[in-house]
Chains A and B, each alone.
Chain A
Amino acid sequence: MQCKDVELVLEQEGLEPLPKEARAHLAECRDCRNYIADLTSLVDAAKKLPPEITPPDRVWISLRAQLEEEGIIRTPADVIPVEPVSWWQSVSAFFSNRVLATAMVGILIAAAAVFQIRSDRTTRVEPPAQSAAVRPVIAPAKKPVTEPNVAPPTVPQPSGEFDRTARDLNDQEPVATGMILTSTSPIDASLRDNLKKVNEFIAECEKHLKEQPQDELTREYLSAAYQQKAELLSAMIERGRSIN
């Protein structure tokens, strides 16, 4: 069996269980082993992505309305016949490069965290005095768009502003630290040490924000610290994969 045959098997039968011939080839071929390891990590990482990364329906509704209004799209949209390509071929073609796959795992995690941070910041509820002033600034859509999913404004929870981000990153943390747990390399020690520093800084900012919820400067630092934490975890995972 050749490398391309293994790809074919993967395309048709998925990651596991692999047939005996494919396993025999894997035992001999390091590239294929790496390829499968990459795919497995990618699938694992994808499973761990937070479900909140999907924008709410109202975003799509507003977007569609705006695009229709500008004449960029028409409803019903024309259906363009596309040659059927299996999902596996697309994924396989895109991730055929080990470096790409590695980078993609890191990017997915960092992107999820950054999206989460920005999402948290944009959904932050303004204090009552400011909300009234801010709301009219938002340009009303010319065509009214129903927003069935818009939740009524809730009472601000100052300390919980970054809750989702914190939770997602905290979920990732044991995975990332676990991947370099056994490593005695000075780099990994440095990463662990810096993660500790960032965690301490986050705790300090969170505590301060509980006391001074409208302190924008602290909020900026907290947001930056979460992004740094996301990048650190991503670096740990990337290194962990290269070690293992």
Chain B
Amino acid sequence: MCLRMMEMSAAGQGSWWKRSILPVLSAGLFFSSAAPARAAGTVQRVEKQFNVTGRPVVVIHNVANGRIEVKSWKNAQVDVVGTQSSNKIGFEIEQVGDRIDVTAIVLEPTAQPLELEADLQLTVPEETELQLKTETGLIYVEQVVGDMKLESYAGDVHLKEVSGYIIVKTTSGSLVCTQCAGKLDFSSIGGNAQILQPQLNNVNLMTTTGNVLFDGDFVRTGLYSMKSGKGLVEVRFSSTDSFDLKAQTATGVVDNQAVAFLKPDSHGVKHIASKWTHGLFGTVGQGLAKVELSSYSGTIRIMKRD
């Protein structure tokens, strides 16, 4: 009995040891093994400020994985903050007049992807032109007025309250454009496009396999073209909108959930869908804007917002 108790006690002590000490030791070992890696990949920060006189042009080329964030302020200055995960990557920042170039360069070609992370945070005057190119990270632009070209392979692009001629090109990254104004061109293979509460008067959206959502008002006299090869094209309009609609799909479906609002074309031109496509033509209000939706095999959905 005693022996049994002792055995139990020893076993109990053993399991306590396993439960309490082992995790602590393991954690210690883990952190001690991680320490050199962290030391090798020390986060470094670079900050520079540039005075500008007019409307600056900011060019960023981020070959690393990382986020580019651009916000605006009232100052006539461009502030650039770069953070990098290791010394295997570096920034080249230069100013020529009102042009500021920022390039993230790989210093060690054999570096691992985790060592090639570089984020850029810019604060620019409200009126600034942008040309940003990145590979995987998010591009975020907020409250900037000016023409901009934003390119990304796999990173998403989020725009908020920007206006100008906006060109967005991605391979698989998606676009979310909230309260944007001006003209927007978006092209992608696999990326989605979400246009929310826009004040855009010229829109061209094209994606091969992604989805398109336009939720907002159509500016009178505006031109809107939205295409998706295999994805969903969805438009949500309000009852006060005024536009002509042409929706066509080769093998997909046109899902008209706004039958009550979509009237036959009132301009005297009788539209007939090609016999090889499924089409829908109609007018909302006076038909002042022009909206063209198309898909190859995806669904086109037209609906009125609540």
Contacts and interface: CB of A to CB of B under 8 A. Distances in A.
Contact of B208 (A186, A201, A212, A215): A201
B224 interface: no
A194 interface: yes
A217 B109 contact: no
A198 interface: yes
B209 A217 contact: no
Given A193-B172, A194-B190, A217 B153 contact: no
B171 interface: yes
A205 interface: yes
A187 interface: yes
Given A190-B154, A224-B206, A235-B171, A205 B296 contact: yes
A204 interface: yes
B221 interface: no
Nearest to A216: B274
Contacts of A216: 274, 276
A96 interface: no
Interface in B179-238: 189-190, 206, 208-209, 227, 229-230
B9 interface: no
Contact of A221 (B109, B276, B296): B296
Interface string A144-176: 000000000000000000000000000000000
B277 interface: yes
B276 A243 contact: no
Query: Residue among A194, A205, A215, A228 with the most chain B CB within 10 A?
Result: A194
Nearest to B63: A242
A62 B43 CA distance: 64
A190 to B, nearest CB: 4
Given A193-B172, A194-B190, A214-B276, A187 B250 contact: no
B277 A186 contact: no
A90 B41 CA distance: 45
A201 B250 contact: no
A225 B229 contact: yes
A74 interface: no
Nearest to B296: A221
B129 interface: no
Interface residues of B, number: 28
Chain B interface mostly: loop
A214 B230 CA distance: 20
A159 to B, nearest CB: 15
B136 A221 contact: no
A197 B208 contact: yes
Contact of A217 (B63, B189, B206, B294): B294
Interface in A190-233: 190-191, 193-194, 197-198, 201, 204-205, 208, 212, 214-218, 221, 224-225, 228, 232
A201 B250 CA distance: 13
Contacts of A198: 189, 208
Contact of A185 (B113, B206, B274, B294): B113
B171 A191 contact: yes
A190 B294 CA distance: 26
A208 B251 CA distance: 9
Given A198-B208, A204-B297, A221-B229, A232 B250 contact: no
A5 B227 CA distance: 54
B86 interface: no
Contacts of A215: 250, 274, 276-277
Contacts of A201: 208-209, 229-230, 296
B109 A232 contact: no
Nearest to A228: B189
A191 B153 contact: yes
Contacts of B294: 217
B250 A186 contact: no
Contacts of B171: 190-191, 194, 232, 235
Interface string B277-304: 1000000000000000010110000000
Contact of B154 (A186, A214, A217, A243): A186
- Closest 7 interchain pairs by CB? A215-B276, A190-B154, A194-B189, A221-B296, A218-B250, A217-B250, A212-B276
15 contacts: A184-B113, A185-B113, A186-B154, A190-B154, A193-B190, A197-B189, A215-B250, A216-B274, A217-B248, A217-B276, A218-B276, A221-B296, A224-B229, A228-B208, A232-B171
Given A187-B135, A190-B136, A194-B172, 16 more contacts: A186-B65, A187-B153, A187-B154, A190-B171, A194-B171, A201-B296, A204-B296, A212-B276, A216-B276, A217-B277, A224-B229, A225-B208, A232-B189, A235-B171, A242-B63, A243-B109
